[in-house]
């Protein structure tokens, strides 16, 4: 694992492959499919929940008035969509 407290995808795939006995190519394919499903469902407005671990859902941001930091001029910021990822109880308890 990385020395700087960050695990990248390559390291994560290698670790999961070693733990499960699956090939790195298989694990990488499964992770890619998971991420694609999270993105597809969030784009449709469908919440994905893995009980105890996390949930991913689309959020709505209302239109608002902001300021250009350079000029101080008021600008209209249009409504937009975002993504919210919430930690579940198992994930929260793991870091206590």
Domain ranges of the chain: 1-44, 47-96
pTM: 0.77
**Cα 23 from Cα 4, distance rounded (Å):** 26
**Cα 84 from Cα 72, distance rounded (Å):** 30
Question: Tens of pLDDT along 20-68?
Answer: 999 999 999 999 999 999 999 999 999 999 999 999 999 999 999 999 9
User: Which CATH number applies to 47-96?
Assistant: 4.10.520.10
**pLDDT category, 4, cuts 50, 70, 90?**
confident
**Cα 96 from Cα 87, distance rounded (Å):** 13
**pLDDT category, 1, cuts 50, 70, 90?**
very low
pLDDT of residue 3: 59
Cα angle for residues 86, 92, 94 (degrees, 5° grid): 140
Question: Tens of pLDDT along 86-96?
Answer: 999 999 999 98
């Amino acid at each position: 694992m990385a020395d700087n407290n960050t695990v990248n995808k390559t390291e994560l795939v290698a670790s999961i492959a070693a733990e499960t006995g699956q090939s790195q190519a298989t694990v990488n394919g499964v992770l890619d499919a998971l991420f694609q499903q999270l993105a597809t469902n969030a784009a449709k407005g469908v919440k994905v929940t893995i009980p105890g671990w996390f949930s991913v859902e689309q959020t709505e941001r209302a239109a608002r008035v902001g300021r250009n930091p350079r000029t101080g001029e008021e600008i209209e910021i249009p409504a937009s969509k975002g993504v919210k990822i919430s930690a579940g109880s198992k994930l929260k308890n793991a870091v206590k």
